[in-house]
Amino acid sequence: MGVLPGHMATIAELKPGVLSMHEGSDVKKYFLSSGFALIHANSVADIIAVEAVPIDQIDASLVHKGLAEFTQKLSSATTDLEKAEAQIGIDVHSALYSAITG
């Protein structure tokens, strides 16, 4: 979703992924682990996330390792909880991977 001044007041749940902030021609990108975006009627937006890291702090080899590890865990998972955790792992690491490959 894109937010410009005058956006409708919204509360949106965010999936793990990239937040890019544009200030004039300056763009800052952060990876958010998950969270919410609150857009108020006065065009102020609050972003709530447990972890928000600049994209260049992400280590590509650890992302690959994590993705492989959780893909493997999903195929060997038995309980619903294990499957959910493995699926979260795959979602988060795929989002990290698309963030670093731009």
Tokens 């544009």 locate to: 22
Could you say whether residue 80 binds other proteins (CB under 8 A)?
yes
Beta bridge partners of 52: 32
Cβ distance to other proteins smaller for residue 41 or 48: 48
Interface with other proteins (CB under 8 A), residue from 34, 38, 45, 74: 34
Q: Rounded to whole angstroms, what are the CA distances from 55 to 11, 18, 36, 48?
A: 24, 8, 19, 17
Q: Which two tokens stand for residue 53?
A: 């890291």
Residues making contact with other proteins (CB under 8 A): 16, 31, 33-35, 50-51, 53, 57-59, 62-63, 66, 80-81, 83-85, 87-89, 92-93, 96
